[in-house]
Amino acid sequence: MSYFTQTRTPDAAIETTGLEKTYAASKRTAPMHALKGVDLKVPRGSFFALLGPNGAGKSTLINILAGLVVKSAGSATVWGYDIEAEMRGARRSIGVVPQELNIDPFFTPREMLDTQAGLYGIPTSHRKTQEVLEAVGLEDKANAYARSLSGGMRRRLLVGKAMVHSPPVLILDEPSAGVDVDLRRQLWTHVKSMNAAGTTVLLTTHYLEEAEALCDTIAIINHGRLIACEPTAQLLGQLDSKQMLITVDRDLADVPSEMAAFATELEGTRRLCISFPPSRVHAGQVLTAVGDAGLGITDVITREADLEDIFLKLTGGAKEAAE
What would the pLDDT profile of 29-65 be if each residue is shown by its tens digit?
788 899 999 999 999 999 999 998 888 899 999 999 9
CA 94 to chain centre: 17
Same domain, 202 and 272: no
First vs last Cα of the chain: how many Å apart?
32
Domain boundary among 207, 236, 265: 236
State how far the Cα of 38 lies from the Cα of 71, in Å rounded to an integer: 11
Residues paired with residue 33 on neighbouring β-strands, in sequence order:
22
Same domain, 224 and 260: no
What would the pLDDT profile of 211-240 be if each residue is shown by its tens digit?
889 999 999 999 999 999 999 988 877 767
Q: Tell me what pLDDT residue 323 has.
A: 39
Contacts of 118 (CB under 8 A, 6+ apart): none
What would the pLDDT profile of 2-39 be if each residue is shown by its tens digit?
566 666 789 999 999 999 999 988 878 788 899 999 99
State how far the Cα of 216 lies from the Cα of 212, in Å rounded to an integer: 8
Confidence of residue 317 (pLDDT cuts 50, 70, 90): low
Confidence of residue 322 (pLDDT cuts 50, 70, 90): very low
State how far the Cα of 109 lies from the Cα of 262, in Å rounded to an integer: 59
For the chain, the domain total comes to 2
In a domain, 267, yes or no: yes
Same domain, 204 and 278: no
What would the pLDDT profile of 236-278 be if each residue is shown by its tens digit?
777 677 889 999 999 999 999 999 889 999 999 999 999 888 8
Same domain, 215 and 298: no
Q: Tell me what pLDDT residue 1 has.
A: 45
Range of the domain at 105: 12-236
